[in-house]
Every structure is written in C-alpha cells, then in structure tokens.
Structure 1
Amino acid sequence: MNSNKMRVGVIGVGTLGKHHARLYKNINDAQLIGVYDINPETAKKVASELNTKAFQSLEDIADNCEGFSIAVPATDHYKIAFFLLNKKKHLLIEKPIASNLQQAGEIVKIARENGLIIEIGHTERYNPVTDFIDGKINDVRFIEAKRMSPYPPARHGKEPRGTEVGVVLDMMIHDLELILHIVKSKVERVEASGISVLSSSEDMANARITFKNGCVANIIASRVSEKSIRTMHIYQPAKFISLDYANKTCTVFSKDNSSIQKEEIPIVDHNALQKELTTFVSNALSTIQTGKTAESKVSGKIGLEALRLAVKITEEINKHNKKYGINDKVYSPNNIF
C-alpha cells in the first residue's frame, strides 16, 4: 500500500459510479482500493473489469479507504455521507448534495467540524467551456440556460436513473449552480412551472430567477426530450456569449461600432469528470498531509446553496400548479429549513 497515494473507494457503481472507479485508476495520487454496491453482482462485475476488490459491506470498505465517491441515488446520499463523515472520510458526493436541505446542512456541518473535504459533483464547473467564462465576464444582465435529455432507460427492479427526484434536482441544479457562480448576487424572486410526463414527479420545468443586482436568468430543464441539449447564453452590454457544454464550444458576439463581430473561442478539451476527481484527490491529500482543510472548487456550502435554490423552484412549481388546479406531482423535499 503506497502511503503517498490516497486510498479511495467508490460507493455505488451503476451508470456513473463505474466511471468514477475507472478514472481513479488513472490518477497518479490515488489508489483505488475497491468498490461497494447494494447489488453485490454489480460490484463484482465492475471490480472484475477494473481488477479491484468488491467489498461486501459499507463498514468493511470504510475501514480500508481515506476518501470516497458517493454515486448512489440522491435519496441515499445523506445516510451514506453521514456514516462516512463520522468515520473521518473525505467525500466527493454526486449532485445534489442531498435530497433535502436539512440533510444537506448536516453534511456540511459535520464536514466543517471535522476538517474534512466534501466536493459536490457539479461536473459542469470542470467543463473546459467554464474555464473560458471564469474571470472573463462582467455586468451580466440576462442568462438563458437549456438542459434537455431523453428519458432515462428502464432498470430492472429500480426507477430509471435520476427519477428518484424531479428534474429540478436531477438536471436543472447543474445550471443553477453555474448561474449562482456567474452572477454572484442574492436571489430576489423566483417564478416557476413544471409538469410530470412519465415519472412520479416533474419531468419538465421552467424557472425565471431575478437577482438583487438586476440580472435575470431563464432556465428550462427536461428529461423527456428527443435529443440532448446543454446550452447557456450570457448577455451583457455590447456582448453575447453562447456556450455549448455538450459539444464544448464557445462563441462570442461583440459590438464593434455598427457591426457585430463573431469570435469562435478555441477550447482546450479535457475530461471534466477526470479533472473533478483529480482535484478532489489533490485537495484531500493536501488536507491529510498538512492538517489544514483545502478549499474545494464546489464545496458542500456551494452545493447547499444550489440545492436551496432548487428547493425554492420546486416550491414555486407547487404554488403555480395549486393556483391553476393542476394535479401534477412535483418532487418536494421534506424537512426544509
């Protein structure tokens, strides 16, 4: 066992978790110790493919690792994070941080009190497109974001992936976190609507957010689309920036006297999830070696604020539906403070 590497494990090795496990093996400072899944056969299959160990229990894998990726359904984030944080483990938790605010707040509190790293899996912050806009935008007046995908495939004995929560917590929350990062202003007002189509909660949602600095963001999310779309348009005086997170392209339109100049920005591509995992390992190792908690790019506090806004949007959808006599179900996190 290499003491210069962080011993990592992955909890939940379904669609996304198996990629976490695979990519950890490519990180120089990480040593993948093993995986755990509630389905032992899934764990064994992934462990065999990656030449690692399939642990039989959460307790067993916890005793052998210093840090973990948690890639289980959102409704299970809290119980696993609570268990591992109390064992002094560093965590990368897939978004959302938890399925309600009380649980999210407790996760942040325990990590802070114990000097532990928690990184929340808002992977778009590591998308190479985001590298361009960081530090290069100012006085943003309006943002339009669209995130759409086909409905997730059926799974034997389980809900389709992500549908344990509504589309706001499943998909829109990516854009909410990005927009909070870009605008850097408090929210003044939220208007929202949404409907269920195929699942037991909202599958389509639209939100209009007005910030205290006057910026307005309009966001559409759908998991019942014919094709996948992940775009964002950012408007500021004399400039319009068009971002495509899926195709990793960025175009800037600028006013030049009486004409409009179009500039295609060269994007240096990289694997966003790989970069996210590498950053998590680096921060956790630094914390272990120095005793000083490193600063996460998407910390638990940031994940909590994104969830807080997402919860507000679900509340507004429920108000809208009640006002107009719409009986569609909307995912409503409990224990909100």
Structure 2
Amino acid sequence: MNAANPLRVAVVGAGAFGRNHLRVYKELEQAGEPVRLVAVIDPDAAAAADAATKFGVPAFGSIAECLAKSAGLDAASVCVPTVHHRAAAEELIAAGLDVLIEKPLAPSLEDADSILALAAKHQRIVQVGHLERFNPAVTAARRYLNQPMFFESHRLSVFTPRSLDVDVVLDLMIHDLDIVLSLVGSPVTEVRAVGLPVLSPKVDIANVRVEFESGCVANFTASRVSTERVRKLRFFQPHQYLSIDFARQDLLMIDVTAAAGMDPAKLAAMAEMIQASQQLQASGGHPSAGLSLSKVPVEPGEPLRLEIVSFLDAVRRRSVPVVSGEDGRAALKLALEINAAISAHAQRAGLTI
C-alpha cells in the first residue's frame, strides 16, 4: 500500500472521540501518508454534517448507507458509545473492514467475544483504542522494565458529561489496567475494590487493589469528579523506582539500590520524598539532598496519532496490532471483575450503587 493506493478509512461517530480520529486521519492524509479519509458516519444528522464540513468528507447516517455508497473501504475507527460497539464493529467486519475500536472494547465479555470471533472468521484486524499504550513516556519506561513488584496509579479528572454510559472503571481506570497488565505479564489472583457514584448514576470514583500471581501488587485510583487533572503511574522494581506522568510525557527514574531491603513503610516514605522532589523540579527548584533523580529522555508525540499510525501499519502489514483485540478483552475482563468487587463491597457496607 503506497501513496498511489492509500488505505481508505471511515470514522463511525462524530462526537468528541470521533472528531479527534477524523482530525488525525486528515492530518496524516495532508502530510502525504498513504491514507485517505473518505467518510464520517453518525445518525445525528447535524453532528455528521458539521464534521463533514470541517474535515471535507461525505457524511452518512448509517454504516449500511456508507458501505453502499463508498466503494473500496479498507478500515474504520469505531467511536460510538460503548453499548453500540458490537453492532458497529460487526457490521464493518462482516463487510471486510479492519477496525480500531475505542476503549473499552465492549460493555460485556459476551459482546467482546462475539466481535473477536467474527474478526477471526473474516480474518480482520481488531485494535482497541488504549491510546496510553502509545504515550511516549510509557514506551520509554518499557526499556527499563525488570520484574515490577508494586504499581501505584492515579487518574483523576474533572467532571464532564461525556462517557457517562459507562462507570469510571470502564471510562478512565481501564487505561491503567491495560498498561499494568501489559507490563506485569502475570495472571490476576485477587481483586479488592471500593467505589461510589457521586454526580452520575454510575460509579464515579474507585480505589482498587490487584494482586498478581508473580507477587506484584497494583493500587489504582480513578475519579471523574476531581478538582484537578492527574494522570500518573509509579512503580517499584528491584533496585529501581520509575514515575510516569502521562500528561507531561515525563519519565523520572531513581536507583534505589541503597534502599534494597527497606520495609514497606520506609519505601512509602521514600516514594513521598521522590514525589515532592518531582514537584520541586517541575517548579524549577532542586531535588532534596541524597536523591539522585534522572529524567529519562522521551521523544514527544501525540498518543492518538501514534495509535492510529500503528493501526494503519498493522492493516497494511496484516500483522497483530500493538493493542490487540485480546488485549482489549483482558483489560475489559479485569475491569468487570473490579466492578463486581465494588458491587460486593457496597452490598457488605449497605450502600446503594
């Protein structure tokens, strides 16, 4: 596939996520990449027309209409609400298209398995939109991966009316679940969780503890009712501590060889010191004495653009995508286990969620 024979792509969904996909495809096309954006699909005529005007593509009210009028489509991004992922993805796959499905893959494992089974039958590629996998800081951190044993994740956001068809675990936390699953590479053995609805009918804030067969433990906190935006992941591994700031695309590292053998309380105190030192560095100050922090070089880039470029490369090469459908299913499975644990905790505590 080359510039003379570009991949022809469509975007299903003209909401916030869909418009970002439209923008990136259009930017890639205008930059001379072998891809051509040919359609936007949305049953909301006004939204579809607005997107069509902005990105210079035809608008269609349904996938069926687009398929009937747009010959030679190769691939599509599915950016509709999660409850509609299965219907949209299966219609596209059955028509012979490869698909990039925004996260989460589906609202249930039954839906996810149906999508993946159909993709296998038609030999179509399914990539799931866990775009933080493509965050340059995550990519850089993988080079230093060495038996991680403790993760601490915080993903906090101010409240917005988007994505309220799913809870905070499937909306925000699932990004970090996917990343940690990919870094640990070990089966989950225990899940403990608590969560509460605050401003929506679904759980808006959750705290989770996950233990893996390897002995690794991960703590996750996600909130979509915060007063600040935080997207960070920190982890310890033998003799090393790494801290990822997704928003800043920063990776900080400290050698903790001298701290090997410290008890958990001392390690926690050390983590607090490192965090304070990071904040001081960010404000232009200097780290505390005795802390030898190094900022790992990170090549900046827009995660969504990197994700879409990777998807298009998998389509051209007919290769397994970086975030496969099976990866998306694994993250979904853990998210649903967490939601079950939240429900069980609420029942024990006499809460209504």
TM over 0.5: yes
SS class of match (1:295): coil
Which structure would you say has the larger Rg?
Answer: 2
2:292 corresponds to 1:261? yes
2:323 corresponds to 1:325? no
C-alpha deviations, 1:145-198, integer Å up to 9, x for none? Answer: 00010111xxxxxxx211101101111100000000010000000000000001
Unaligned runs of 5+ in 2: 260-289
2:72 corresponds to 1:41? no
Alpha carbons of structure 1 residues 256 and 306: separation in structure 2 relative to 1, 3 Å: closer
Q: Which residue of 2 aligns with 1:305?
A: 330
Counterpart of 1:278 in structure 2: which amino acid?
Answer: V
C-alpha deviations, 1:116-157, integer Å up to 9, x for none? Answer: 1111000000100111112321121100000010111xxxxx
| Distance in 2, Cα, partners of 1:275 & 1:269 | 10
C-alpha deviations, 1:93-123, integer Å up to 9, x for none? Answer: 0000001110001111111121111110000
Residue 324 of structure 1, CA deviation: 1.0
SS class of match (2:333): helix
| Distance in 1, Cα, partners of 2:296 & 2:90 | 43
> Among residues 130, 142, 151, which one is paired with 1:134 in the alignment?
142
Residue 257 of structure 1, CA deviation: 4.8
> Among residues 299, 320, 345, which one is paired with 1:295 in the alignment?
320
> Among residues 76, 98, 119, which one is paired with 1:111 in the alignment?
119
C-alpha deviations, 1:261-317, integer Å up to 9, x for none? Answer: 210112110111011111111211223xxxxxx111001000000000000000000
Residue 62 of structure 1, CA deviation: 2.7
Residue 327 of structure 1, CA deviation: 0.8
Q: Which residue of 2 aligns with 1:273?
A: 304
Alpha carbons of structure 1 residues 244 and 283: separation in structure 2 relative to 1, 3 Å: same
**Structure 1, 16-25 or 252-261: larger mean CA deviation:** 252-261
Percent identity between the aligned chains? 34
SS class of match (1:16): helix
| Distance in 2, Cα, partners of 1:319 & 1:255 | 38
Q: Which residue of 2 aligns with 1:242?
A: 243
| Distance in 1, Cα, partners of 2:258 & 2:40 | 59
Q: TM-score, normalised by structure 2?
A: 0.87
SS class of match (2:16): coil
Residue 255 of structure 1, CA deviation: 2.8
Q: How many residues align?
A: 315
SS class of match (1:189): strand
| Distance in 1, Cα, partners of 2:167 & 2:224 | 9
Q: Which has the higher contact order (CA 8 A, sep 6+)?
A: 1
SS class of match (2:152): strand
| Distance in 1, Cα, partners of 2:333 & 2:216 | 19
Q: Is the 8 A contact 1:29 1:281 kept in 2?
A: no
| Distance in 1, Cα, partners of 2:127 & 2:174 | 15
Higher helix share: 2
Q: Is the 8 A contact 1:108 1:300 kept in 2?
A: yes
Q: Is the 8 A contact 1:86 1:110 kept in 2?
A: yes
SS class of match (1:32): strand
Counterpart of 1:285 in structure 2: which amino acid?
Answer: R
RMSD between superposed Cα atoms in Å: 1.5
| Distance in 2, Cα, partners of 1:255 & 1:168 | 32
Task: Map 1:77-96 onto structure 2 (within 5 A).
Answer: 77-96=85-104
Q: TM-score, normalised by structure 1?
A: 0.91
Q: Which residue of 1 aligns with 2:317?
A: 286
Q: Is the 8 A contact 2:4 2:34 kept in 1?
A: no
SS class of match (2:256): strand
2:63 corresponds to 1:58? yes
Q: Is the 8 A contact 1:255 1:261 kept in 2?
A: no
